[in-house]
């Protein structure tokens, strides 16, 4: 049984219109995401586990985007509303019983009714397949021989556990599971990834013929090759690198996939003009944007939503997330830019400084041991070591505004809401609770008391007691 679930009210209104009125592209996609992922030992659906800051299934959908599929349908299991939300606006269909991969693809039959182009079958837990590989699959299926099925194959270092692709003079002749293979077939290196391109005119007709006369009683997608061959149709193979077809079924697999995607992101950054002094220690998010001539030191982590303009230096051991850094800024070492941090041109953010939901304007300096939250730091202002914007009263967040050319002395606390005017100064060690006018000096400090000779007499007394 299949149930189409366009995501959200707008999706429920527009999806039927889209199916009726939109011109057909040459490609559609079915993404299988109904697996429970028991080996992950997690309450989170397997395809929602993050890879470079984005769910696994998000990487699959992103790889499809350059192909501009006419329709993309995601097959989910019962109770997977979180997956449906994550893949929006793509519609989902529910596989109420998990009876195998062919059965899963069949759940998309109604959603793809009338489609006659190439149907790609992908897996939500196989996130590293490049767009170029999917384009080659489509090109092979729509080529002169118009094969009914094109299977994506790969040659792993250790083929143990994978089905083997049997290739002959007329192309792909069959797929044999390892447990059913002869010793000669087990020696073959070309393996089945499960990713396929099917001719839309016959795809669901073939799938409907798949039986479940096997040990598991499941309907296997791989059987469509034998069914197509029996109907006199050709089947082909397209090969891809083994790392492109890594499936994530465990936490160990997820860590392996993270290593692969981070290597890709590092190479892409360096090719785009970024200097990474210790590439293996830098971790990117899938959407990190770095300009030319950015220099990144060792052990820097980029969370989602970071944009860094050209000519920025980010020193070692920094953490950036959902923030922007403008041209010429200097960040770190050991700085943390939290969501909403906006660092303007030539600003300096130094060691053990945390910025959250705040703007640091052009040329301002926040160089040491400081927390700036819910604030504006004006152009060329200088924030002394140990300064804190006290932005939270236990119930609400409040804003601190520091004007251009202001000077905040070390170890000051600015209790928001409060403003410090342009060119004003705050004396070191002050707690500021009222606005400071432009050009003024504000300080709150107990009078200093000096007792001559007290320290010398104290030391002498302690020494006598210790004898």
Secondary structure class of 197 (helix, strand, coil):
strand
Average pLDDT for 281-286: 98
In this structure, is residue 238 part of a structural domain?
yes
Q: What is the dihedral of CA 73, 56, 270, 244, to 10 degrees?
A: -80
Say yes or no: 16 and 111 in one domain. yes
- Under the banding of pLDDT at 50, 70 and 90, the label for residue 25 is low
Whether residues 349 and 393 fall in one domain:
yes
pTM metric for this prediction: 0.87
Helix (H, G, I), strand (E, B) or coil at 260: helix
* Binding residue positions: 32-35, 46, 95, 100-101, 123-125, 163, 177, 192, 249, 338, 356, 371, 382, 385, 391-392, 410, 428, 445
Of 41, 36, 51, nearest to 255 by C-alpha is 51
Length of the chain equals: 467
Split at pLDDT 50, 70, 90, the class of 15 is very low
Tokens of 198: 């099917």
pLDDT for the residue numbered 18: 36
Name the pLDDT band for 6 (thresholds 50, 70, 90): very low
Judgement on whether residues 256 and 238 belong to the same structural domain of the protein? no
Taking the C-alpha atoms of residue 251 and residue 245, their distance in angstroms, rounded to an integer, is: 16
Would strands 425-426 and 407-408 be described as parallel, antiparallel, or unpaired? parallel
Left, alpha or beta for 76 (phi > 0: left; psi -120 to 50: alpha)?
beta
* Residue 171 pLDDT > 90: yes
342-387 confidence digits (pLDDT tens): 999 999 999 999 999 999 999 999 999 999 999 999 999 999 999 9
State the pLDDT at residue 429: 96
Q: Is 167 helix (H, G, I), strand (E, B) or coil?
A: strand
With 90 as the cut, is the pLDDT of residue 213 above it?
Answer: no
Q: Residue 69 domain-assigned?
A: yes
Pair (189, 276) in one structural domain: no
Sequence-ordered list of residues with C-beta below 8 angstroms from that of 290, at least 6 positions apart, any chain: 269, 272, 274, 296, 308
Write out pLDDT tens, residues 223-255: 999 999 999 999 999 999 999 999 999 999 999
Residue 315 has pLDDT above 90, yes or no: yes
Please state the φ and ψ torsions of residue 2, each to the nearest 5 degrees.
-125, 140
Task: Quick: pLDDT tens for 433-452.
Answer: 999 999 999 999 889 899 99
**Residue 19 clears pLDDT 50, i.e. is over it:** no
Q: Which pLDDT score, from 0 to 100, does residue 178 have?
A: 87
Shared-domain flag, residues 263 and 376: yes
Residue 389: strand, helix, or coil: strand
Amino acid 76: pLDDT: 97
- The mean pLDDT of 109-127, rounded to a whole number, is 96
pLDDT at 2: 38
* Selected residue with higher pLDDT from 341 and 214: 341
Known binding site for acetyl-CoA: residues?
385, 391-392, 410, 428, 445
Structure-block tokens of residue 399: 């804003």
Mean pLDDT, rounded, for 146-172: 94
53-109 confidence digits (pLDDT tens): 999 999 999 999 999 999 999 999 999 999 999 999 999 999 999 999 999 999 999
Q: Are residues 222 and 302 in the same domain?
A: no
CA 392 from centre of chain: 30
Does residue 12 register a pLDDT over 90?
no
214 and 362 assigned to the same domain: no
Residue appearing with tokens 């830098």? 282
3-class DSSP assignment, residue 198: strand
Pair 223, 261 in one domain: no
Q: How far apart are CA 331 and CA 317, in angstroms?
A: 10
For the chain, what percent of residues have pLDDT higher than 70? 95
Annotated binding site for UDP-N-acetyl-alpha-D-glucosamine: 32-35, 46, 95, 100-101, 123-125, 163, 177, 192, 249, 338, 356, 371, 382
Give the model confidence (pLDDT) of 135-158 as tens digits: 999 999 999 999 999 999 999 999
**Domain finish residue from 193, 212, 245:** 245
Q: Is position 217 within any domain? A: yes
Answer yes or no: is pLDDT of 125 > 50.
yes
| Angstrom distance (rounded) from CA 467 to CA 84 | 77
Query: Position of tokens 């004006």?
Result: 378
Q: How far apart, in whole angstroms, are the C-alpha atoms of residue 433 and residue 269? A: 45
Percent of the chain at pLDDT above 90? 90
What is the mean predicted confidence (pLDDT) over 406-414? Answer: 98
Mean pLDDT of the chain: 93
How many folded domains does the chain comprise? Answer: 2
Predicted local confidence at residue 466, as pLDDT: 87
What is the helix (H) or strand (E) element at residue 462, kind and residue range? helix 454-466
| 214 lies in the same domain as 266 | no
Binding site per annotation, positions for Mg(2+): 125, 249
The CATH number linked to 128 is 3.90.550.10
Same domain, residue pair 100 and 183: yes
Does one domain contain both 21 and 82? yes
Residues identified as active-site? 368
Question: Is 456 within the bounds of a domain?
Answer: no
CATH of the domain at 349: 2.160.10.10
Decide if 452 is inside a domain. Answer: no
End-of-domain residue from the set 182, 211, 245? 245
pLDDT of residue 13 exceeding 90: no
d(CA 288, CA 79) in angstroms, rounded, equals 32
Q: Which domain holds residue 74?
A: 4-245
Domain termination site, one of 185, 211, 245? 245
* Residue 329 and residue 202 in one domain: no
Please, which pLDDT band fits residue 35 given cuts at 50, 70 and 90?
Answer: confident
Give 306's contacts (C-beta < 8 A, 6+ positions apart). 285, 287, 288, 289, 320, 321, 322, 323, 324, 325, 337
């Amino acid at each position: 049984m299949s149930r189409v679930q366009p995501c959200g009210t707008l999706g429920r209104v527009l999806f039927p219109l889209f199916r009726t009125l939109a011109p057909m592209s040459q490609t559609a996609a079915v993404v299988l995401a109904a697996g429970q992922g028991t080996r992950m030992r997690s309450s989170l659906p397997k395809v929602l586990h993050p890879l470079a800051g984005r769910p696994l299934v998000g990487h699959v959908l992103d790889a499809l985007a350059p192909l501009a599929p006419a329709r993309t349908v995601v097959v989910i299991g019962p109770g997977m509303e979180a997956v449906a939300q994550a893949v929006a606006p793509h519609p989902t269909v529910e596989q109420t019983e998990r009876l195998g991969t062919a059965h899963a693809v069949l759940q998309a039959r109604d959603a793809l009714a009338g489609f006659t182009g190439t149907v790609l079958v992908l897996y939500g837990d196989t996130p590293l397949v490049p767009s170029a590989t999917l384009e080659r699959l489509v090109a092979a299926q729509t080529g002169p021989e118009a094969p009914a099925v094109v299977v994506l194959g790969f040659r792993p270092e250790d083929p143990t556990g994978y089905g083997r692709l049997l290739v002959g003079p007329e192309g792909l002749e069959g797929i044999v599971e390892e447990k059913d293979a002869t010793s000669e077939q087990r020696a073959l290196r070309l393996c089945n990834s499960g990713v396929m391109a099917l001719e839309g005119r016959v795809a669901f007709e073939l799938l409907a013929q798949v039986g479940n006369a096997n040990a598991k009683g499941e309907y296997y997608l791989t059987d469509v090759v034998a069914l197509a061959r029996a109907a006199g149709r050709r089947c082909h193979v397209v090969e891809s690198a083994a790392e492109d077809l890594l499936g994530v079924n465990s936490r160990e697999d997820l860590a392996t996939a993270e290593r692969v995607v981070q290597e890709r992101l590092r190479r892409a950054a360096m090719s785009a003009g970024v200097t990474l002094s210790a590439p293996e220690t830098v971790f990117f998010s899938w959407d990190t944007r770095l300009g030319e001539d950015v220099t990144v030191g060792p052990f820097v982590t980029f969370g989602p939503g970071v944009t860094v303009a050209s000519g920025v230096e980010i020193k070692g051991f920094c953490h950036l997330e959902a923030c922007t850094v403008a041209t010429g800024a200097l960040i770190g070492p050991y700085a943390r830019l939290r969501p909403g941090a906006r660092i303007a041109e030539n600003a300096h953010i130094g060691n053990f400084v945390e910025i959250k939901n705040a703007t640091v304007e052009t040329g301002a300096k926040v160089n040491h041991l400081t927390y700036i939250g819910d604030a504006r730091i004006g152009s060329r202002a200088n924030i002394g070591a140990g300064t804190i914007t006290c932005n939270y009263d236990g119930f609400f967040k409040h804003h601190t505004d520091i004007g251009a050319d202001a000077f905040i002395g070390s170890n000051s606390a600015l209790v928001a809401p409060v403003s410090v005017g342009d060119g004003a100064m705050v004396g070191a060690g002050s707690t500021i609770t009222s606005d400071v006018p432009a050009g003024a000096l504000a300080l709150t400090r107990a009078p200093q008391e000096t007792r001559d000779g007290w320290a010398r007499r104290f030391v002498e007394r302690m020494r006598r007691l210790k004898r």
